[in-house]
Amino acid sequence: MVSTLTRIIRFIHGYRTIALLALIAIVAGTVAELYAPQVLRTLIDDGIIGGDRDQIWRSAGWLTALAVFSGLARFAYGYLSARVSHGAAFGLRKEIFAKLQKLSFSYYDRVQTGQLMTRVTSDVDLVRDFIGGGMVQMISAVLMLVITAAILLSMNLWLALIALSVIPVTLLILLLFVSRLGPMFKSFQERLSRLNGIFGENISGVRIVRTFTAEDSETDRYRRANQDLLDSGLAIRNSIANAFPLLFSVGSFGVVLITWVGAVMIVKRTLSVGELVAFTSYLVLLLQPLFMLGFGAQQIARASAGAERIFEILDAKIDVAEVDDAIVLPEVQGRITFEDVTLQYPGDARDILKGLTFSIETKTTVAVVGSTGSGKTSLVNLIPRYYDPSEGVVAIDGHDVRTLKLDFLRRHIAMVMQDPVLFSGTVSENISYGRPEATQDQIEAVARMAQAHGFISALSKGYMTHIGERGVTLSGGQRQRISIARALLVDPKILIMDDSTSALDSRTESALIEDLDDLMRTRTTIIIGQRPSALARADKVLLIEDGRIADEGTHQELLERNCTYAEILATPPGAVPHELPSFCDMSGLEGRDA
């Protein structure tokens, strides 16, 4: 917990001056408050009991001035500490986001959006509250304790010793309190994350929930998580509720004891009434920092629970990292080679790709065909290093991709993903996502090639139509075409299309492949899918079966010699009307879903 807290403090580094001013403000305010009882003592002993009218006026003036001063100091403290704490929260959010931009895909395979959101919002707030309140308060509380103790000791040794005996007891209670609360707060934040995770999944998956009429079971799942959170919140509340009365009783017991001993001393004339009043005022000032320590302790427990969860993100291992001496190439030709490549996904023991060796020559088009789950997407994911192979080498122009600078590598590869995501924004903005400086003409040219110009022009505001969240919703095929246009605009040396035409009718698809012909001649293209026009156009077809290359050749060659290939192609969607070679066993086809 200590190391977590020191790490939090690093985040206020940029605000050292303001933090120091805030500390000075609260110390000044505290000192002013501590001085007031001394004025009160003179007021009573010299002014009231001694009958000195001038002294009464002077003391009253002093008391007013002290009250105003300490009020101003507290105001300044509030203002300055907010600057520091919000600044630190700003820094934390910035670092989390920067880290999220660097974390590998394998990290996102494991976490839920809602969980991450909780960390960047609620957990950051816990840390902020501690910096803005708890931390400086703790410092000033300790300071106040020390000063008050010194004053009490100088005023009256015996009474002071009685008063100070309260401190160790209180500290012991606080220590127990914090060690119990820390884990409770952590569990509270975890439950909150889980709740938000379920919430997020239900928003993004609302169609699935409705389709499977799972509203009741989802509502129940949410209710249970919500109940867990409530239980945890109440348990914390109870724990705090139990600790504070205990602290109060210890404090009050001290006051009673001192008033009693003090009264005896006044009777014996070893103490003046003013002294006892001043003394008990200080006693209140002694109890105040003790309670402040209590509140601060609770905030420390909360903040360190939040901080631990934030640091889990900041410390997460980046699976795909750039090497220190990463290079850029003067020019990319686009020759791709796989050498004995094996892939296991992190945290999964299965070999998804098993010793793949093949090469794709510069400016050729390769089609990758295979049944679902055979590893096609996994294969192409290795080229832009979305994942790294567990064994073997993926190389571009003979350079292991792991030796290249990541942004250099990815700038030269455009990937149209299997389930494309568009951002909220206009159609134009979406197409020019990878090249924001592109002109409208360039945008339209790629949209035409991607067979998207027609439907975009028909939208109410054409290229300026807002899509995505709260905008026009597009069909699956329209989304695919916009994402193809987006990839084409980058003018990559390597173009990868992962089942990117699956939602298009075959006429549109043929037109698209035809229009892309010039483009495909000038770059390396990989097309995953089994559409006839693409297969016929490809220089080479790779047939993937269960993570292995089962066969490799032209479409015509495979069609003639490979039964699996012929079978895959004969399966809708996009079934190729053709005869299976006569030596193939046709019975396997009958059991398939058509």
Residues 417-436 close enough to bind Mg ion by CB under 5 A: 418
Q: How far is the CB of 526 from Mg ion (least distance, A)?
A: 12
Closest distance of CB 379 from ligand ATP, Å: 7
470: left (phi over 0), alpha (psi -120 to 50) or beta: left
Residue 240, CB half-sphere, CA atoms under 13 Å: how many? Answer: 18
Q: Which stretch binds ligand ATP (CB under 6 A): 13-21, 208-216, 315-323, 365-373?
A: 365-373
Q: Hey, which residues between 288 and 317 contact ligand ATP (CB under 6 A)?
A: none
* Dihedral sign (CA 22, 24, 28, 34): positive
Site string for Mg ion, 348-387 (x = CB under 5 A): -----------------------------x----------
Per-residue mark of binding to ligand ATP, 103-132 (x: CB under 6 A):
------x-----------------------
Specify the residue, 107 or 199, whose C-beta has the smaller distance to ligand ATP: 107
Q: How far is the CB of 377 from Mg ion (least distance, A)?
A: 3
Smallest separation (angstroms) from Mg ion to the CB of 374: 9
Residues 6+ apart with CB under 8 A from 36: 63, 66, 67, 281
Stretch that binds ligand ATP, among 126-134, 266-274, 282-290, 344-352 (CB under 6 A): 344-352
Parallel, antiparallel, or unpaired: how do β-strands 466-467 and 336-343 relate? unpaired
Exactly one of 124, 250, 352, 409 binds ligand ATP (CB under 6 A); which one?
Answer: 352
Nearer to ligand ATP, 346 or 471 (CB): 346
Of 415, 362, 342, 340, residue with least CA distance to 540 = 362
Can you state the percent helix, strand and coil of the chain, rounding each to 5?
Answer: 65, 10, 25
Residue 334 or 375: the one with the smaller Cβ distance to Mg ion is: 375
Choose from Mg ion, ligand ATP, none: what does 375 bind? Cβ within 5-8 Å by kind: ligand ATP
Contact between 102 and 193 under an 8 Å Cβ cutoff? The reply is no
- The reply on whether position 349 binds ligand ATP by CB under 6 A is no
Minimum separation from the CB atom of position 514 to Mg ion (A): 25
- Please state, as a whole number, how many other Cβ atoms lie within 10 Å of the Cβ of residue 358: 15
Contacts of 135 (CB under 8 A, 6+ apart): 9, 296
- Kindly tell me which of 228 and 567 has the beta carbon lying closer to ligand ATP: 567
Task: For ligand ATP, give the closer residue by CB, 222 or 386.
Answer: 386
Contact letters for ligand ATP, residues 381-420 (x by CB under 6 A): -------------------------------------x--
Q: Which residues contact 544 (CB under 8 A, 6 or more apart)?
A: 368, 369, 370, 374, 375, 376, 379, 550
The angle that helices 157-164 and 273-314 make with each other, rounded to 10 degrees, is 30
Which tokens is 465 given?
């139509």
Query: In the complex with ligand ATP, which residue's Cβ is closer, 128 or 376?
Result: 376
Rule CB under 6 A: is residue 189 a binding residue for ligand ATP? no
Contact between 42 and ligand ATP by CB under 6 A: the answer reads: no
Beta bridge partners of 426: 466
At closest approach, how far in Å is the CB of 140 from ligand ATP? 51
Q: How far is the CB of 418 from Mg ion (least distance, A)?
A: 5
Q: Closest approach of Cβ 319 to ligand ATP, in Å?
A: 11
**From the list Mg ion, ligand ATP, none, which binds 372 (C-beta under 5 to 8 Å, kind-based)?**
ligand ATP
Per CB under 6 A, the segment of 18-26, 28-36, 358-366, 376-384 that binds ligand ATP is 376-384
Q: Binding ligand ATP by CB under 6 A: which of 6, 372, 582, 587? A: 372
Among 299, 378, 426, 510, indicate the residue that binds ligand ATP (CB under 6 A). 378
Binding at 348: pick from ligand ATP, Mg ion, none (beta carbon under 5-8 Å per type):
ligand ATP
Q: Which is nearer to Mg ion, 299 or 374 (CB)?
A: 374
For residues 452 and 513, the answer to whether their CB atoms sit within 8 Å is no
Selected range binding ligand ATP among 221-229, 318-326, 372-380, 431-439, rule: CB under 6 A: 372-380
In whole angstroms, what is the distance from residue 79 CA to residue 18 CA?
10
Work out whether 376 is an interface residue with ligand ATP (CB under 6 A): yes
Buried b (16+ CB within 10 A) or exposed e, 298-322: bbbbbbbbbbbbbbebeebeeebeb
Whole-angstrom Cα Rg for the chain = 36
Q: What is the 3-state secondary structure (H, E, C) of 382-418?
A: CCCCCCCCCEEEEEECCEEHHHECHHHHHHCEEEECC
> Order of strands across the sheet with 336-343?
353-360, 336-343, 391-396, 399-400
Dihedrals phi, psi of 128, to nearest 5 degrees? -60, -45
Size of the site for ligand ATP (CB under 6 A): 13
Pick from ligand ATP, Mg ion, none: which does 340 bind, CB < 5 to 8 A by kind?
Answer: none
Q: Find out whether 83 and 18 touch, Cβ atoms under 8 Å.
A: yes
Question: The tokens of 183 are what?
Answer: 């884990």
Residue 107 CA to residue 554 CA, distance in Å, equals 38
Give least dist CB 504 to Mg ion, A.
Answer: 17
348 binds ligand ATP (CB under 6 A): yes
Instruction: Report how far residue 31's alpha carbon sits from residue 462's, in angstroms, rounded to the nearest whole number.
Output: 68
Q: What does the alpha-carbon distance between residue 85 and residue 381 come to, in Å, rounded to a whole number?
A: 42
Compute, in degrees rounded to 10, the torsion defined by CA atoms 351, 356, 361, 365: -60
List the one residue from 373, 454, 581, 588 that touches ligand ATP (CB under 6 A). Answer: 373
Interface contacts to Mg ion, rule CB under 5 A? 377, 418
Interface contacts to ligand ATP, rule CB under 6 A? 109, 345, 348, 352, 370, 372-378, 418
